Structure 1
């Protein structure tokens, strides 16, 4: 099977989503599947892109048998609602623009949050004639109320 993961978070960044997706991708490669990851240039949580990835709109590399396609993102520290939204929206747009360059796939696995990735995942799946899995790993609707962003 040909599987495409869509996530803004992937090693060399460190964190739960990064580790979860990378481990899943590795296990699928070991079982003989072709795995691609469409992700952002690494920058989480500092907003600083490492020197080897700077000044590029995107990169392509193979990490442990996984084809990793990195695309541009508005890199910003993980602070402030507006900056985070802009970063999420920029990755969504970059991922959609990268769709024609991605190899054919049978399934698109979208790791969320951010929820905007679901839109990019839908476009990718539709453009490739693939099925889409939308995994919402951390949905905390009550936190939006507690932050005063919406009423109870």
Structure 2
């Protein structure tokens, strides 16, 4: 085989076409190089498998941790919601108690005075009527609604 390069006089070059010389170690070196490449490839494949396995384990661990955190947060939120619900129930109960007390006192005041009663020296003005009772209940309702 001949190789022509610009600016270089044409001269016959041997490119792996000459018969091997008696001391030539080419084929054993090629075989050894091929063996080393196969060994390195096998080692790289082993490392890649190890890295892939490690990444999969870490991913599984992170998923498990995230799931645990979500369960914990959900439980915490449920507990907070229960606490708020309990407080609202307590406030509602107190508001109902206040409304009952207002209605009872209004009823007591109304029953103490007949429909034809007028002001006397002990009672400078007439006692509250149903309108005042209604206003008090409405006010209690507004307070509870704004809590």
Determine which structure has the larger strand proportion and give its number. 1
Q: TM-score range by the shorter chain?
A: under 0.3
Larger Rg: 2
Taking structure 2 as the reference length, the TM-score comes to 0.19
Determine which structure has the larger helix proportion and give its number. 2
Taking structure 1 as the reference length, the TM-score comes to 0.18
